[in-house]
Amino acid sequence: MYNVFLKKILLGSVVLALVASCSDDGSDDWGNEIVSGPAMLNLDSIERTDSLYSWYLEKMASCGDSCEDDFNIVFPGRASSGSKGSSSTSAGSSAKVSSSLGTSSSFGTSSSSGTSSNSAASSAAKSSDDGDDDYEDASKVRLLPPAGFYEELTIPVPAPEYGGKIRCTFDGSMPTSATAEFVEPYVVNRNTAVRCAEFVGDSIARKSSHTYFINETVSMPVVAISVDPYLMFDSKNGYYSQGVSYCAEPCREANYWWDLELPVHVEFFENGSSSTKRDWQIDAGLSIIGQWSRYRAKKSVAIKMKSEYQDGRIKFPLFKTRPEDNKFKAFNLRNNGNRFVGDYIEDPMLTSLMEGSGVDYQRSRQVVVFYNGAYYGIFDMRERLNEHFVETNYGIDSKQVNIVKHIKTTVTASGGSEASYVEMLDFIHKSNFKTDAEAYKKLQTMMDVGNYADYMAAEIYIHNGDWPDNNVRAWNTADRPFKFMIFDVDHGFGWDWAVSGFNYTSHNMFNWIKQGGTNRCLGERCFAEIYIKLIENPDFRRLFINHAAVMLDYYLNYDKVVAATDAMTASIPSAEMDRDIKKYPRNEHSFDRTGANLKSYASTRTNIVRAEISLEFGLGQDISVRIASTGRGKVLLDGMTLPSNDYTGRFFADNDMLLTAVPLDGGVFVRWEDGSTENPRLVSPVNGSKFTAEFK
């Protein structure tokens, strides 16, 4: 009967829905595994793919008996609408669903996609006690029950679909043709990564990888990773061990410094143990990331989607910020870097302040990670800063993007080419921006100077000692100038771990920049030279001061830090912190659970930076200035879009402003409120000044 209804679907209009649902990169919108190779081209194989059957389960869960009437099919575990008989459970298949999934009950359907609704499973369960069975049992066409959280679970023996043999592993490794055949029901009595495949000879005809949690309670999003334990954890080869008996730092002999990438299967449960389904799954590659934080027992890793594993992307709103930007080729699971021993959120909290400013940063969220069913604690899930980040957030084809890393005098491209960035550095080195206005104009075609000013203001505010000779990234395209991306600021905000030559409480950041950071990188192809030479230009100096004023007044202030800190700490329940700290002990007296240290540092930081700016440029006292517009238009301040069309902020006296009235939606600029029609307009504000552009 299963084959009958599938053929009806494939021959009917449902095929069109399935085709429309497929992504442009070969993955499906439910995040299901797709077996690559000849099987994908064989109609009989397509009829039995996990993806199609997953669709069926979801469809039946959403529309119930009406679907049966439409397609003249019977939902496994439910009587058909034509003959309201009852059904029995499949032999050897039983489970109790965790209370988070609803009422505890037995059910007899199996689904490996994890996208099938548990309400469907519950419907099957409730009718499974009634007796008669005139349909083909779900366990005969599915390799595994749905992934997720259970009170108890027994996996039935799946029936081969291609005349092959079902082979399964229970340690996270992929089964091979040498793996023992699955011949009797398997009782899952603890968290387990189960990976099954049907082998026809030495070839895989279909496969499924599922993590099952037994009596597990997690009140945060869960990332479950299945990986060969020998490759990942063995004392000789694994990331989570040193690989050598002893060596002094930096221990380059240790395997966690090696350039390795391991094949993994990744599953995501948005609502932790309250999840009613697995939200997505994908085959991917895992590699370790970070520098000195690699020595921590909790290690940061990157998850990368590549065609050698599965040709696809995740299409899911991983982050609450800008959820519409939801197509991901990779993400990081970060251990919070050097702040691992101090708090959970300093780095993501501070970079999140950039939202709306135009400075690129990594969106993030706190998650709990399991490897092969074993708990590995709280991690910071973050975007990866690469060419795919630009594609996700700007809609630009990643193949058009150049993205570079700049450390001391070394520039390397992680996507595209570094040539245009090096060309920009060389141009800056040979130019005299103090006297050559044309050179400054040309530089603006190479670099977004407004973005650069905002980025510099943010790094100065954060008081990042591990910069500017390190942790610099930027991107451009053939028709877009370079933009800078803020990241890895865990040495900021008063962190007292040593950065050579840097006073973590009192170092003036302008002096630090002009020193070239801890490596004293000055001159040709050093990042510090960009500021040192560019600040000599009077137009850029005016722009930088005004941009910094808005950044400090609106984006980088105490209230924003408190709000971001409270929101992030609230996302990590106390019980989850307890569990994580128990696994990775930290000093309870110094570890900041609430973000109190971050708030304390922020309470004075804005005013300290304002004082340093006044000192650096010989500016006067703070002044209040209002910049507004009426009608269909807005005002740019030295090229900067202000937080609102009626903005009042603290600025610096003795610094001019370049105001530009920009029409919007067919509007026309008429005049400034004082009658001037000059546009752009250079003004010299005083305390209480108001500049309003009128549009019609």
> pLDDT, tens digit, for every residue of 557-609?
999 999 999 999 999 999 999 999 999 999 888 899 999 999 999 999 999 99
Is residue 674, in this structure, part of any structural domain at all?
yes
Cα atoms found within 13 Å of the Cα of residue 683, Cβ hemisphere only: 24
Please report which confidence band the pLDDT of residue 296 belongs to, taking 50, 70 and 90 as the band edges: confident
Whether 119 shows a pLDDT value over 80: the answer reads no
Please count the structural domains in the chain: 4
Q: How far apart are CA 568 and CA 356, in angstroms?
A: 18
DSSP string of 486-498, one letter each residue: ----TT-TT--S-
Q: Which helix (H) or strand (E) holds 213?
A: strand 203-214
| Same domain, residue pair 184 and 275 | no
Q: What pLDDT score was predicted for residue 290?
A: 85
pLDDT for position 257: 78
Determine the pLDDT at residue 96: 55
CB 449 within 8 A of CB 388: no
Is 330 among the domain residues? yes
Asked if 157 and 166 count as a contact pair (C-beta separation under 8 A), the reply is yes
Same domain flag for 51 and 148? yes
Same domain, 373 and 394: no
Both 244 and 281 in one domain: the answer is yes
pLDDT at 72: 34
236 shares its domain with 378:
yes
370/414 same-domain check: no
457 and 413 share one domain: yes
Is pLDDT at 245 greater than 70 in this prediction? no
Residue 361 phi/psi, 5-degree rounding, is -150, 170
* pLDDT higher at 313 or 479: 479
- pLDDT of the residue at 473: 98
**pLDDT score of 252:** 72
Reply yes or no on whether the pLDDT at 475 is more than 60: yes
Domain boundary among 341, 356, 384: 384
Is the pLDDT assigned to residue 238 strictly greater than 60?
Answer: yes
Query: What confidence category does residue 270 fall into, taking pLDDT thresholds of 50, 70 and 90?
Result: very high
What local confidence, expressed as pLDDT, does residue 47 receive?
Answer: 28
Residue-wise pLDDT tens digits, 490-545: 999 999 887 999 999 999 999 999 999 999 999 999 999 999 999 999 999 999 99
Residues 19-29 pLDDT 10s: 333 333 333 33
At residue 302, does pLDDT exceed 60? yes
Q: What is the pLDDT of residue 240?
A: 73
Within a domain: 236: yes
Exposure string for 600-612, b = 16+ CB within 10 A, e = fewer: ebbeebbeebbee
| Pair (403, 363) in one structural domain | no
Judged by average pLDDT, the poorest of 311-320, 446-455, 650-659, 676-685 is 311-320
pTM equals 0.81
Last residue of a domain, one of 540, 556, 572: 556
Say whether both 175 and 53 belong to one domain.
yes
Q: Look at 129 and 521; give whichever has higher pLDDT.
A: 521
Does residue 585 lie in a domain region? no
How far apart, in Å, do the first and last CA atoms of the chain sit? 68
Any idea how long the chain is? 696
Predicted pLDDT of residue 118: 33
Same domain? For 399 and 373 the reply is no
Closest CA to 690 of 644, 649, 642: 649
590: in domain: no
Judge whether 334 and 290 are in contact, CB under 8 Å: yes
Q: Cα separation of 441 and 162, whole Å? A: 67
Q: What is the pLDDT of residues 70-101, one digit of tens each?
A: 433 333 332 333 333 322 223 334 455 543 33
383-423 pLDDT tens trace: 999 999 999 999 999 999 999 999 999 999 999 999 999 99
Q: What's the chain's average pLDDT?
A: 82
Phi-psi region of 395 (alpha: psi -120 to 50; beta: other; left: phi over 0): left
In a domain, 600, yes or no: no
Q: Is residue 573 part of a domain?
A: no
Least confident of 51-65, 121-135, 229-243: 121-135
Say how far apart CA 95 and CA 98 lie, in whole Å: 9
| Residues 58 and 140 reside in one and the same domain | yes
**Is the bond preceding residue 468 a cis peptide, omega within 30 degrees?**
yes
Stronger pLDDT, 256 or 234, i.e. the higher one: 256
pLDDT of residue 253: 72
Q: Read off the tokens for 408.
A: 């001391």
- Domain residues for 638? 620-695
Looking at 364, 384, 404, the residue that finishes a domain is: 384
- Do 81 and 118 lie in one domain? The reply is yes
Residue 134 lies in a domain: yes
